[in-house]
Amino acid sequence: MPLKDDLQKIIKGEVLNDDQTLTTYSKDASIFEIKPQAVVYPRDCEDIKKLVAFVNQDPNNLSITPRAAGTDMTGGAIGEGIILDVSKHLNKLIRVTKDSATVQPGMFYRDFEAETLKKGLLLPTYPASREICAVGGMAASNAGGELELAYGPINKYLRKVKVVLADGNEYTFEALNQNQLDKKIAQKDFEGKIYSEVYNLIENNRKIIEESRPKVSKNSTGFDLWNVWNEETFDLTKLIIGSQGTLGIITELEFKLVKPKKNQVLLVIFLPNLLELDKVVQKVLESKPEAFECFDDQTLKLAVDHAWDLTKSFKHSNRLSAYLQFLPEKWQKTLPSLTLLANFTADSVSEAKEKAMAAKLALASFNLKTEIKNTPATQEKYWLIRHKSFGLLMKYAKNSKASSFIDDIIVKPEYLPEFLPKLNALIAPYKDRMVYTLAGHIGDGNFHIIPLMDLSREEVRAVIPELMEKVFKLVFEYKGSMSAEHNDGLIRGPYLPEMYGEKMYQLFKSIKQIFDPKNIFNPHKKVDATFKYSLDHIVKS
């Protein structure tokens, strides 16, 4: 009997395997392409449990790759077996309390945020793709964004998560005290085995784990063994978040929420060069911006060249007045090398203005052009350029593809004046085969570099492993991480031993083995990734 029929017999949701569906689901937002055997839209958790039980008994080594919005930039949402799309049915907001929200993984973040804001609450660690990504994908990749500077990483806000594990049962993970942990370890079942083995792994390898801790403010590579057990609380949500569906399938999430500040004032800083970037960044950080973002001259040029199109996204200005805001840049002979956006928030407008003015005055000795934007209408242009940069690249890449492979590197801001020129020098020899833009979170040294490349040409595809090796070596030299927010997937998984060392890498592999002994969850990602498999699946068009 065909796989589609076998699956449809056991679940209530839909199963598709027509060519158009399989072609659509063979890609995400990455440079990879893998055609699945079937796409399943589970109706509920029971469907997922039955699917895992089926795959466990299947003799053909079937696998399950969870997927929500498909915006993963690492190849994490594609696979050879069954694609499990939770966005069609498992997309509901379950409840909002005075300080938290419980949600299904397939709900789009934009819809989730709209509901929480009705209660005056916000999940502050949303990514720049907030309009098109789903909450489950944010958790699965340990996504971050502009407010992470002030509020910290998303794993700080995940209180509880429900997950279907490899035995086909659903479990709830949350922070446990010592007594609760002891009871879990004493269980003679799959859950007890996981708690026992993870606890022993951490206890027996504390030195290796701590010595391997990334020396940056955020990191989404590997499995987060650093924050599971602090000798007071034991929290397996830290392993599930950022695991990209390689340890189990998320069915429900509970997030702690915050009350956002009501008013914001934006300080825009135009840098002609990078010579004193570290000092500028440090001066601004002293005034404690909620967000501190940046984009380069290529990003700005792209926005200016397509300004009329971009004006469709303006909400606080009509299209003509929005377009007129781009005229100064259209007339400029030289665009700023880097544009910095420091956003100051407070409960009152006057307090937000005071913070922005303090930062502006602190920069007086640098003789830089700076502007304070007090209203949403005057701020909108700059935030749209920052948030829409990747979308513009993808839209106007004519014969090229926006290729995410060195797109999420992070080093401490203090290293930037040395690091960025060296980074540009590494990329410069490849400019005949690609163009690129740079944008990101300047406040914590996290950059998104997304080249445009014609991947139909073999000599262009050859750039990817060659340049990755050089860029990551530079990142590791400065004690950074190859991914602050976008995770490993197919693209960075093969580099985990180089980043962490073989001993820590083996601990990551042990975690995968503990949770998924038959390797049924999203294979070829993270610790199961290989250079050959990944390179073999790069798109050729």
pLDDT digit string (tens) for 225-272? 999 999 999 999 999 999 999 999 999 999 999 999 999 999 999 999
Q: Which of 508, 504, 500, 430 is nearest to 465 (CA)?
A: 430
What SS3 state is found at 68?
A: coil
12 phi and psi angles, rounded to 5 deg: -85, -25
Token pair, residue 118, equals: 């009705």
For 257, list phi and psi in degrees, rounded to 5.
Answer: -115, 165
Sign of CA dihedral 532, 535, 539, 541: negative
- How far is residue 263's CA from residue 350's CA, in Å, rounded to a whole number? 9
Render pLDDT for 317-343 as a digit per residue (tens, 0 to 9): 999 999 999 999 999 989 999 999 999
427-477, pLDDT tens digit by residue? 999 999 998 888 899 999 999 998 889 999 999 999 999 999 999 999 999
Dihedral sign, Cα of residue 239, residue 243, residue 412, residue 503: positive
Tokens of 130: 């907030």
Nearest C-alpha neighbor of 21 from the set 35, 3, 5: 35
- List the alpha helices (DSSP H) in 205-339: 206-211, 237-240, 277-285, 297-305, 307-310, 319-324, 327-331
* Amino acid 539: pLDDT: 95
Q: How much is the pLDDT for 82?
A: 98
Give the angle subtended at the CA of 293 by the CAs of 289 and 299, to the nearest 5°. 160
Report angle CA 303, 308, 311 to the nearest 5 degrees. 85
Does the pLDDT of residue 10 top 80, yes or no? Answer: yes
pLDDT value at residue 188:
95
Structure tokens at 531: 């250079």
For residue 402, what pLDDT band results from cuts at 50, 70 and 90? confident
Quick one: average pLDDT of 196-207?
98
The backbone torsions φ and ψ at residue 301, rounded to the nearest 5 degrees and listed phi first, read: -60, -40
Sequence-distant (≥ 6) Cβ neighbours of residue 75 within 8 angstroms: 28, 30, 31, 32, 34, 489, 490, 491, 525, 534, 537
Q: CA 467 to CA 403: how far, in whole Å?
A: 12
* H or E element that contains 391: helix 376-395
pLDDT at residue number 412: 93
What b/e sequence results for 220-234 when a residue is b if at least 16 CB atoms lie within 10 Å of its CB, and e otherwise? bbbbbbbbbbeeeeb
pLDDT higher at 92 or 60 = 92
pLDDT attached to residue 397: 67
Share of the chain above pLDDT 70, in %: 99
Nearest to 124 by CA among 143, 137, 108: 143
* 524's tokens: 């070829």
Q: Phi/psi class of residue 70: alpha, beta or left (left: φ > 0; alpha: ψ in -120 to 50)?
A: left
Q: Is the pLDDT of residue 388 over 90?
A: no
Contact between residue 247 and residue 519 where contact means Cβ atoms under 8 Å apart: no
pLDDT at residue 189 above 90? Answer: yes
Token output for 264: 């914001």
> SS3 for 285?
helix
Q: Give the bridge partners for 340, in sequence order.
A: 269, 294
Distances (CA, A) of 206 to 156, 200, 212, 220: 21, 10, 10, 20
In this prediction, residue 1 has a pLDDT band, given cuts at 50, 70 and 90, of low
CA gyration radius, the chain: 23
Alpha carbon separation from 527 to 124, 223, 250, 477 (Å, rounded): 29, 9, 19, 22
Find how far residue 483's CA is from the centre of its chain: 8
Q: Terminal CA-to-CA distance of the chain, rounded, Å?
A: 34
What is the C-alpha to C-alpha distance for residues 238 and 229, in angstroms, rounded to an integer?
9
Express as a percent the part of the chain with pLDDT over 90.
Answer: 88
